[in-house]
Amino acid sequence: MTHSGTFDPSQLITDGDAVLGIELGSTRIKATLIGPDHRPLASGSHGWENRQQDGIWTYPIDEVWTGLAACVADLSASVSADYGVQLRSVAAAGVSGMMHGYLVFDEADNLLVPFRTWRNNITGDASAALTSAFDFPIPQRWSIAHLYQAILNGEEHVPSVARMTTLAGYVHWKLTGEFVIGPDDASGMFPVDPATLAFHAGMVTTFDKLVADRGYPWRLSDVLPVIVPAGAAAGIITPDGARLLDPSGTLQSGPQMCAPEGDAGTGMVATNSVRARTGNVSAGTSVFAMVVLENPLKKTHTELDLVLTPDGSPVAMAHSNNCTSDFDAWMSVLGEAAGALGADADPGTVFARLMPLALEGEADAGGHVTIPYVSGEHVTGFTEGRPLFVRSSGAHFSLANFIRAHLFSALAAMRTGLEILTGEEDVHVDEIRGHGGFFKTPGVGQRIMAAATNARCGVMETAGEGGAWGMAILAAYMVRNDSSQSLPDYLDTVFAEAAGETVDPDTADVDGFNRYFARYQAVLDAERAAVANLE
């Protein structure tokens, strides 16, 4: 995707008029610089990985800053190589990150416990208790579930909690000094009232009553960040913040920042899916389908998250912790095998050549099934995972069926939540728009997604730009919108000339996925045995 050519990118960057978006994803930190036509000018990235520490999925907090600095350095190198200028300043910026999780600090801003990410399914008791108390679904990933579970566990750090935020909220706070958060990211911490765009007052009171007998020196409203909607300014990058992004001192302080957002919100923006009846699927390490609602849901469903768009519209999310991680591991092994045989085995080639084989497999993957649970899976009731592959003795064991089974299973847990949304709740969506690594190989992920959702699946040419690009658009909306345009209307102008491809669900694929899904559900008992018996 290239810029329109109606401006000089070198001069724009030199003048500090480009806009910067940063996203801290689960496997990569990415930065994207955009011009006035919203198209990317340059990008940078840095890879990182979560790890288990004392049974908790986490990222060391110092790696947030070394990773961000490496990402910005990579962006700056790209700018220098492509345009012959230095990246010294930007017109505006925004930061996004993995939603949910648990980051808590004391009065001196010391991190109290290692970052507990969205991947942890360790808050089942808290999730159930809060869902009952609020009559509102509180998933295990949400910050409030982590806090309440820490309370139930009697963890020593809880009385010292002075601030609680998300990964994006933490980075924004350190860059600007402002303890704020955007509506989408906030709605993964604690329920947000769409009418007021504040944390739900009645539920805040209910929570305070639940813990009143503990004698903590804080109330919930004391520790939560302030919500700032899309389009509003949320602070400036301070000198200390600029040095965190660029220890060399080249990047200057002063640019305005929009509110930090979650990766779900930037996914909605990057796919122009913030109007009612629009939906998108982000598929990579995890997978979630989001549908912007026309009306409230009829009842509480623990399988669904209720969150908000960055401008505050209600959204139902069907989320699965496990998507492509196990498939990626298998592709790595197959790449090793190819290399041992003397073939070209770089990862890009392996994916490009093997993924299309899924479309040649039997419609239901021919008696194979995989449970790709690298970690726990809340939708199906697992606190831990053990990746599992099984096949019936009479199955046609072929590479095509093997690949197809893995791609089907990457979406199977999410499908569990979607069935509730489209079935019990009769929610309608005109089109699912896909983005993320699952859709990188042309045509394959799109067709598999159409089969799993039984819905038209569109992938825009911008799908590969990802959340950093979506965050840059939110920052541009803050400084370039004249306040007369809503976010949906603004995005319509951004995407007015965007190209893409849409695939309708194929009847044979849909029927095949349904048969596969029944087999997947039947094999979950074997997964439970694996978790119980395999360390």
pLDDT at 431: 81
Provide the H-helix boundaries in 143-261: 143-152, 167-176, 183-186, 201-210, 220-223, 239-245
pLDDT at 462: 67
Instruction: Write the DSSP assignment of 265-317 as a string of letters.
Output: HHHHHHTT--STTEEEEEESSSEEEEEE-SS--SS--TTEEEEE-TTS-EEEE
pLDDT at 501: 84
Which letter does DSSP use for residue 260 in this model?
P
Token couple for 341 = 């045989």
**52 has which bridge partners?**
57
- Sequence-distant (6+) residues with CB within 8 A of 216 are 158, 159, 161
pTM: 0.83
**How many C-beta neighbours within 10 Å does residue 360 have?**
12
Distance CA 146, CA 196 (A): 25
pLDDT at 504: 92
In the chain the domains, ranked by start, together with CATH numbers, are 273-321+417-503 (3.30.420.40), 325-414+507-533 (no CATH)
**How many C-beta neighbours within 10 Å does residue 8 have?**
13
Nearest partner of 438 among 287, 226, 248, judged by Cα: 287
Tens of pLDDT, residues 135-163: 999 999 999 999 999 999 999 999 999 99
pLDDT tens-digit profile, the chain (535 residues): 445 558 899 999 999 999 999 999 988 999 999 999 999 999 999 999 999 999 899 999 999 999 999 999 999 999 999 999 999 999 999 999 998 899 999 999 999 999 999 888 899 999 999 999 999 999 999 999 999 999 999 999 999 999 999 999 999 999 999 999 999 999 999 999 999 999 999 999 999 999 999 999 999 999 999 999 999 999 999 999 999 999 999 999 999 999 999 998 998 999 899 988 888 888 888 888 889 998 888 888 888 889 999 999 999 988 888 999 999 999 999 999 999 999 878 888 999 999 999 999 999 999 999 999 999 998 888 989 999 999 999 999 999 999 999 999 999 999 988 888 888 898 887 788 887 778 888 889 999 999 998 888 988 776 666 789 999 999 999 998 766 789 999 999 998 877 778 899 999 999 999 999 999 999 999 999 999 999 8
Q: Are 7 and 83 in contact (CB under 8 A)?
A: no
Tens of pLDDT, residues 487-505: 999 999 998 877 778 899 9
pLDDT at 321: 87
